Amino acid sequence: MIITLKDGQTREYAEPKMIYDIARDLSDGLARAACVAAVDGETCDLRTVLDRDCTLEILTFDDPRGKAAYRHTCSHVLAEAVKNLYPDVKLAIGPSIDTGYYYDFEAEPFSREDLDAIEAEMKKIIKKGARLERFTLPRAEAIALMEERNEPYKVELIRDLPEDAELSFYRQGDFVDLCAGPHLMSTRPIKAFKLTSSSGAYWRGSEKNKMLQRIYGTAYTKKEELKDYLDYLATIRERDHNKLGREMELFTTVDVIGQGLPLFMPKGTKIIQTMQRWIEDVEEERGYVRTKTPLMAKSDLYKISGHWDHYKEGMFVLGDEEKDDEVMALRPMTCPFQYYVYKATQKSYRDLPYRMGETSTLFRNEDSGEMHGLTRVRQFTISEGHLIVRPDQIGEEFKGCVDLAVYCLTTLGLQDDVTYRLSKWDPENKDKYIGSPEYWETTQGMMRDFLNELGLNFVEADGEAAFYGPKLDIQAKNVYGKEDTMITIQLDLALAEQFDMYYIDQNGERVRPFIIHRTSIGCYERTLAWLIEKYNGQLPTWLCPEQVRVLPISEKYQEYAEQVEAELKKNGILTTIDARPEKIGYKIRAARKERLPYMLVVGAQEQEAGLVAVRSRFLGDEGQKPLDAFINDITREIRTKEIRKIESEAQK
């Protein structure tokens, strides 16, 4: 047989040969570094025996596929260690992920001390260096094996697999796990690992199922790489908006109020208010009319729109359909309400496009396991809008919505942190959607053409569309690498029919319009979380709830400090005074800790000359300036929404 290698070279063998032996034939060093291999593009174990002509690539930890197998093997070591220490624990699943691996267990919550004990047990297992052996079983024997080992989650997984699926297992010593692989040859190559955290996780991601305990970990081939990653983790934890937002007194949560229902404190409320007023002004400049619609409606409305059939599980329903004459629901989106604003007066072709914008409070019944800080909540406020357009206007208006979104991202300094996704329907699950296959091909084709004309670099994803039409999803990742949708723009050629919406054309005929659903900045809560993490809490000055703090050196200069404060406030600058009887160094440190953009120190010299001593987080000590000059500088910075760079190392 002829084996063609990655570089085009070939090796010829007269008899079948294990991939690991071929790797040794190529280089002892390569064999030691090898994790798995790719045969004709398919990833497989090094223990796989080749008996035919094929292409072969030996994969080390440097390749994502090799890294995944390395970490997946570490997840099996984790599972074995947990079973050794806690024999009654039940195993669920344990895949590799981008940052390492995890394993889910039916168990009591794990403490940090528990994780340390599990790590110690993992080290013992790795030191033994047990070989991993792959074997398969017929369906009945596979179920019997897992029932004998009292692993109900594994039994459930086996029963859910197709009848013709190959049921493979991996054994390392006495530990056996249901797994498709691939894996390392043994546990010995695992050099550096760490269990990073534990949390609750619903079995199969559904809150209807049992809450399991998930242990997260990571693994590297070198201790230096592990240390670098753990240092990085410590850094991003410091940037987590959940931590920073509470430290900065922007928001809090209370158990008796409920999960996913954050309370915004005065500073956080001020930031949201600033963004909201900005967006409303920008939309008005772009020809939007504003609406204000109810927070709830009868189920009848959602039945017309299709939300009752396609989105009911995500809604908060008030009442019982079997008992109550009138069942209400809190609104998960604003579109059906705004349609009736459009329908309230007859429109002609001259009235279109009709752009409606609303600062909408919405309610969605998110799974408790999915909620996190401000990024996924049950009540949120969004810059929602709907454009009713003629068919000949849809391209221009769609591009205008993209332009508005890009403008908002650019103003916030977020434009380089996003990716674009064309979210399409899933033709294998037609029941999730309204409309024919032809409808979906038409709308998806239109959106694809618009995006290409804009020159956007986008990916396509099946099954991510709204039930009534495709979407452009503008995506971003949080500090932990989890991706969320920040802004959406959707095409809808269906709901105008369901709501009997029309306009009068040039010939006096009734014509169905097209609809664009869109957000300009998305959800304010999620955007704030993104900004906190992006800027490590040091928001652009125009967004800060406190832009300047005046610091009198002593009580003797309190009156001058108040004069400075009054002049700043007269110019719309958010200002406070730190009048505490503390030393000036203490006051400066306190203001820096609160991430304020500017401090103005005032004492004898400043009072006599009408000056202020400026300290900023951008340059540190900027020296003395006339108060008028400082006001001119900061008002320009706020007016232009400038994003100043932090140039002083001491301020970072």
b/e 185-208 (16+ beta carbons within 10 angstroms → b) = bbbebbebbbbbebeebbbbeeee
**pLDDT of 344 over the 60 cut:** yes
Chain-wide mean pLDDT for the chain?
Answer: 93
Radius of gyration (C-alpha) of the chain in whole angstroms: 30
Q: How many CB atoms lie within 10 A of CB 37?
A: 25
Distance CA 283, CA 84 (A): 61
Mean pLDDT score, 44-68: 94
Beta strands in 291-442 (DSSP E): 296-298, 317-318, 328-330, 354-363, 379-389, 418-424
Q: How far is 170 from 168, CA to CA, in rounded Å? A: 7
pLDDT confidence bin for 392, thresholds 50/70/90: very high
> 511 to each of 75, 79, 117, 132, 330, how far by Cα in Å?
60, 63, 70, 67, 32
The mean pLDDT of 426-434, rounded to a whole number, is 86
Output the CA angle 202-208-210, nearest 5 degrees.
45
Rounded to whole angstroms, how far apart are CA atoms 353 and 287?
A: 9
Question: What percent of the chain stands above pLDDT 90?
Answer: 83
Give φ, ψ of 35 to 5 degrees.
-105, -55
Average pLDDT rounded to a whole number, residues 387-411: 96
- The pLDDT tens digits of the residues spanning 65-102 come to 999 999 999 999 999 999 999 999 999 999 999 889 99
pLDDT at site 292: 97
For residue 621, pLDDT beyond 60: yes
Nearest-angstrom CA–CA distance, 118 and 344:
65
One DSSP character per residue, 602-628 reads E-HHHHHHTEEEEEETTTEEEEEEEHH
Please state the rounded mean pLDDT for residues 470-484: 89
Beta strands in 114-269 (DSSP E): 132-136, 168-172, 175-178, 192-202, 211-220, 251-252, 263-264
DSSP H or E stretch at residue 598: strand 598-602
- Reply yes or no on whether the pLDDT at 368 is more than 80: no
| Sign (positive or negative) of CA dihedral 239, 242, 248, 251 | positive
pLDDT confidence of residue 548? 98
Given a cut of 70, is residue 650 above it in pLDDT? no
pLDDT at 389: 97
**Is the predicted pLDDT of residue 651 greater than 60, yes or no?**
no
Please state the φ and ψ torsions of residue 188, each to the nearest 5 degrees.
-60, -35
Alpha-carbon distance of 542 to 530, in angstroms, equals 16
DSSP-derived secondary structure letter, 513: P
pLDDT of 648 over the 60 cut = no
pLDDT of residue 440: 93
Q: With 60 as the cut, is the pLDDT of residue 652 above it?
A: no
Cross-strand partners of 510: 504
3-state secondary structure of 54: strand
Q: Which two tokens stand for residue 212?
A: 């399991």
Q: Does position 369 have pLDDT exceeding 70, yes or no?
A: no
Q: Averaged over 477-490, what is the pLDDT?
A: 89
Q: Which residue has the higher pLDDT, 577 or 164?
A: 577
> What is the reported pLDDT for 7?
85
The pTM of this model reads 0.81
pLDDT in tens, 589-610: 999 999 999 999 999 999 999 9
pLDDT at residue 370, as a whole number? 72
